[in-house]
Every structure is written in structure tokens, then in C-alpha cells.
């Protein structure tokens, strides 16, 4: 299990525990459960990289303590 932090532009900070072999889509569903938003509306970014739903966290080399930027579309 790894812990990932997600920040949005409004100052909300969410910590999510997930497995390295989870996909970005799975991570979005966990974030949606904690924030109360629909997972289809969530966009995860880091700088200018937009993360795609079907790729695993391991493939993106996301590790313990990684920090995502949370946007809504």
C-alpha cells in the first residue's frame, strides 16, 4: 500500500491509500468516494502531464508520498 496526496485549487487536501498496481481510474474512484464528487469529473495532473485512466500507478512510476493536482472538468 502506498499513500498519495491530492490537492485541488481550493485548498482541499486528500490522502488516499492505494496499491501500486491500481489504475488511475481506480484512484479516481477512491478520490471520488472521499470528496463526494463523481469520478468522471476528476482530472489528475502534475505540472502539464494529464494522467490517463487505463494506465497503472506503477507504470507512471508513482510512489509513496506522490502529490497530484486535482481538477474538475
- Which cell numbers in the block locate residue 63? 510512489
pLDDT for 59 equals 87
- Residues belonging to the chain: 73
Q: Which residues pair with 67 in a beta bridge?
A: 5
Cα angle value 56/52/71 (rounded, 5°): 115
Model confidence, pTM: 0.85
Q: Look at residue 20 in the predicted model and tell me its pLDDT.
A: 87
Q: What is the CA radius of gyration of the chain?
A: 11
d(CA 2, CA 56): 13
Which regions of the chain are under pLDDT 70? none
What is the model's pLDDT at position 23? Answer: 92
Amino acid at each position: 500500500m502506498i499513500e498519495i496526496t491530492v490537492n485541488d485549487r481550493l485548498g482541499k487536501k486528500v490522502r488516499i491509500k492505494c496499491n501500486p498496481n491500481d489504475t488511475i481510474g481506480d484512484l479516481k474512484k477512491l478520490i471520488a468516494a472521499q470528496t463526494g464528487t463523481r469520478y468522471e469529473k476528476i482530472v489528475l495532473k502534475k505540472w502539464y502531464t494529464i494522467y490517463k485512466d487505463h494506465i497503472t500507478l506503477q507504470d507512471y512510476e508513482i510512489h509513496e508520498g506522490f502529490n497530484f493536482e486535482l481538477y474538475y472538468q
